[in-house]
Amino acid sequence: MSINSKLVTFAQNELVLSHNETERERIKASIGQLEKILKDKLGNNIKEFVRFGSFTRNTILPRQYDPQSDVDLMVIFNTSAGKKTPGTYRKWILDVVSAAYPNSVSKKDFPAVKLLLNHIMFDIVPAYTEEFWGKSYYIPDSDDSWRSTTPNDINDSLASKNTQYGNNVIRNTIRLCKHWNAGAGYPLESYLMEKDIINLIYWGNEDTYERFLKTMNSIAGNRAGVRQALDYIQKYKGSWSEPVNEAKQFEWLQKLLPSLK
């Protein structure tokens, strides 16, 4: 099996939270049940729910490959009778999920309330919206105030580029980079890294292996360990003075992706 085939298999069979539609529907059902519980308990205080983040982009990794992996749910509160503080809304959410899931881990973890359910971490984020010339979303800021955000702002860009480029190369590359990032101790913020990868210039006729190497060079090529691995991989790709050595390429690739077999 070629190195590219091994990377594609790893990215599409291992670095996925939902391996098939049945599993994905099970996760959606868990989100739906969580939404129902929150709505039943908090009633008209809740205006709507927005599902966002890497789960909606299908770039979320299993927690064994990314311990910080989570499914994001935004709870939009009704502010028609006045707006509460972020801390108040977070406490309402925490009280409900703690009572509903007494055997699960739930805690406050700014700005979200975290709930571990069936080995999946849910990040539940309080929010509110304003509608002046379009809808604006606000989530908690560091000083218990509010800041604006745009949920799912890169979803369409990823879907478009992934389709245009073909063979799921862009989504595969993001999953591989997220696994490297987790193993390296999260030097890059995950969402911003995904956004940077999507915004890179892409050329045709590159497979997942080539795209991953070029992307790593762009987003982390100045990091010592990454630079060394990329340089050795390039060396063992062969030249007039160096024969091609796929075994050595793979050995150095595993230094970037230790779980790759």
Nearest alpha carbon to residue 220 among 178, 250, 249: 178
CB 27 within 8 A of CB 55: yes
The DSSP line for 183-226 is HTT--S-HHHHHHHHHHS---SS--HHHHHHHHHHHHHTTSHHH
Task: With CA atoms as reference, report the closest residue to 38 among 50, 46, 30.
Answer: 46
**CA–CA separation, 171 and 176 (whole Å):** 9
Burial 199-224 (b: 16+ CB within 10 A, else e): eeebeeebbbbebbbbbbeebbeeee
The pLDDT value recorded for residue 108 is 63
Model pTM? 0.90
Q: Which residues sit opposite 147 in a β-bridge?
A: 139
- Do 195 and 35 touch, CB atoms closer than 8 A? no
The predicted-structure confidence for 93-128, as pLDDT tens digits, reads as follows 999 999 999 888 666 677 789 998 877 889 999 999
- Write down the pLDDT at residue 132: 83
SS3 61: coil
Read off the tokens for 114.
């975290």
Contact 97, 36 (CB under 8 A): no
Give residue 119's pLDDT.
76
pLDDT at 102: 86
Residue-range domains of the chain with CATH: 18-149 (3.30.460.10), 155-256 (no CATH)
Question: Could you please report the per-residue DSSP string of 160-177?
Answer: HHHHHH-TTHHHHHHHHH
> Are residues 120 and 54 in contact, defined by beta-carbon separation less than 8 angstroms?
no
List, for the chain, all residue ranges whose pLDDT scores fall below the cut of 70: 19-20, 105-108
Tell me the CA distances in angstroms from 116 to 14, 97, 102, 238, one per residue in order: 21, 10, 11, 47
Q: What is the pLDDT of residue 84?
A: 95
Q: What is the number of other CB atoms lying within 10 angstroms of the CB of residue 31?
A: 18
pLDDT in tens, 58-82: 999 988 899 888 999 999 999 998 9
pLDDT at 19: 67
Half-sphere exposure of 154 (CA within 13 A, CB side): 21
Helix (H) or strand (E) holding 108: strand 105-109
